[in-house]
Each structure stands twice: as C-alpha cells, then as structure tokens.
Amino acid sequence: MGWLRTLFLGDIGNRLDIADTEEQIRKLHLELRKTQREKNSTDASQDAEIAKLHGRVAQLELTIGALCSLMVRKQLMTESDLRQFVNSLDPEEDS
C-alpha cells in the first residue's frame, strides 16, 4: 500500500510506511532471536548427551579391561588368546 499512502497522504504516508517496515523488521528480529535460542538449546542438549555418552564409553572400556585382566589372572584365558580375540574384533588394535 506504500505508493497509495504517498500519493494520498504525502509525507504522512511515507512515515506510516516507514513505521510498518520498522515493525516488520522488529518482528523478523524477534523471530530470529527465538530461532537462535531454540537452536542453542538444542545444541546444548545434544552436547550434554554426547558428553554423557563419552563418559559411558569410558566406563565400559574400563569395565571390559578389568574383566579381561580378571580372566587372565583366573587363567580362564591366556594373554595370547586375549590379544588374538581383540585383534579379531579390531585388526588395527596394536595392544
């Protein structure tokens, strides 16, 4: 409606158009901020979940290591058997 306002209302029409545009910009800015907050919240939630999973993996690695050591100590498996088993799971493992 911009050119009609200018045609009929002159400078007042221009000021009304500017006010409308400023309002649209303000609304877009609020939407952008809301979207950014939601994204940041999602990122933080995902980061927390990833950290939790990293901790769980570390805990499981320690548990498996302890079980393997126990099996070797109890002579349920030799170190050679254990090494061969680990290499069959992950051929790149050099331990």
76-90 per-position pLDDT tens digit: 999 999 889 888 887
> Quick check: is 25 in a domain?
yes
Cα 65 to Cα 75: distance, rounded to the nearest angstrom:
15
Range of the domain at 78: 2-89
Cα 91 to Cα 88: distance, rounded to the nearest angstrom:
6
- Report whether pLDDT(6) > 70: no
- Number of structural domains in the chain: 1
Give the tens place of pLDDT for each residue, 7-62: 667 777 777 888 888 999 999 999 999 999 888 888 888 999 999 999 999 999 99
Cα 52 to Cα 3: distance, rounded to the nearest angstrom:
59
Cα 92 to Cα 89: distance, rounded to the nearest angstrom:
9
- Report whether pLDDT(94) > 60: no
- Which amino acid, one-letter code, is at 65? G
> Quick check: is 94 in a domain?
no
pTM over 0.85: no
